[in-house]
């Protein structure tokens, strides 16, 4: 991170939800490195506390709380706890998600609902309660929803996750329009398939169990790893963190209701072009 970027969020307070060791924890680390005090929330308390401890180890300020993002009372308590601890909330990152790959024909309704509820209801509840706090405090804050390239594409065998992430696209636009009169910005940060090396290293550092999504297991007719990625490699969480810092900073004060993709070009790729794939002949 540049010297300017290192202080881009100095004095700001961020709530980050769903801080498992991979993508969202990497974003939380990046916000802390940029000077924000980070309030880490996860249904698994060990993840929340380990993420906060990791930020502190890097010289940042952080605290943690266990929170079920689908429980409105728990969400309200989390936001109030952050305000009590740090006095304000300037940034919200809605990163909580469940990704258990099942297809249309083999998924139970209860499983479909739990993934939709975590991703969409969680973003709704945190945006609602943080938005109310920001309006009351007259804070011109920044809210980031964590999307996915799966929100734009039909991935066979993972219907609930992609459907929920697609819903976040218009939720972002709608929330941005409702909160714009108060100077609160809402944007979508869209990752793609992510190199797991940082996540695995962080899980080892935290001494917690974390497994890659079943989507990372190679299936027939699917590419894997960096195959098909125009820029030649999959992003890592720190790539997303740099984008999150920008969107959360005053440098993005005229950016709202939009999507920033950090996907190494995969959504722009012509479907027949498969860089890194099998060579002809």
Catalytically annotated residues: 161
Strand partners, 190: 261
143: nearest Cα among 116, 182, 97, 175: 175
Strand partners, 42: 66
The string over 8-19, giving b where at least 16 C-beta atoms fall within 10 Å of a residue's C-beta and e elsewhere, is bbeebbbbbbbb
Those residues whose C-beta lies under 8 Å from the C-beta of residue 210, and which sit 6 or more positions away, are: 20, 21, 22, 199, 200, 203
The region, left, alpha or beta by phi > 0 then psi within -120 to 50, assigned to residue 185 is: beta
Check: CB of residue 194 under 8 Å from CB of residue 23: yes
DSSP class of 157: T
**Exposed/middle/buried for 146, CB within 10 Å: 0-12, 13-18, 19+?**
buried
């Amino acid at each position: 991170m540049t010297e300017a970027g290192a202080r881009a969020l100095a004095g700001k307070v961020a709530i980050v939800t769903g801080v498992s060791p991979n993508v969202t924890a990497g974003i939380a680390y990046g916000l802390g490195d940029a000077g924000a005090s980070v309030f880490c929330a996860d249904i698994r308390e060990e993840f929340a506390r380990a993420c906060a401890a990791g930020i502190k180890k890097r010289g940042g300020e952080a605290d943690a709380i266990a929170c079920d993002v689908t429980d409105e009372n728990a969400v309200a308590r989390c936001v109030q706890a952050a305000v009590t601890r740090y006095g304000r909330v300037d940034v919200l990152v809605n990163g909580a998600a469940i990704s258990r790959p099942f297809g249309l024909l083999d998924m139970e309704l209860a499983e479909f609902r739990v993934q939709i509820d975590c991703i969409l209801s969680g973003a709704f509840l945190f945006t609602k309660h943080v938005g109310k706090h920001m309006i009351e405090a007259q804070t011109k804050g920044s809210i980031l929803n964590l999307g996915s390239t799966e929100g734009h594409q039909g991935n066979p065998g993972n219907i609930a996750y992609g459907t929920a992430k697609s819903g976040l696209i218009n939720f972002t636009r709608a929330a941005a329009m409702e909160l714009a009169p108060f100077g609160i910005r809402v944007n979508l940060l869209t990752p793609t398939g992510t190199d797991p090396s940082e996540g695995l290293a962080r899980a080892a550092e935290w001494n917690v169990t974390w497994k890659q999504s079943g989507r990372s297991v190679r299936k027939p007719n699917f590419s894997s790893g960096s195959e098909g990625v125009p820029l030649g490699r999959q992003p890592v969480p720190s790539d997303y963190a740099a984008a999150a810092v920008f969107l959360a900073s005053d440098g993005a004060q005229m950016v709202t209701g939009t999507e920033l993709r950090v996907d190494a070009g995969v959504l722009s790729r012509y479907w027949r072009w498969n860089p890194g794939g099998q060579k002809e002949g």
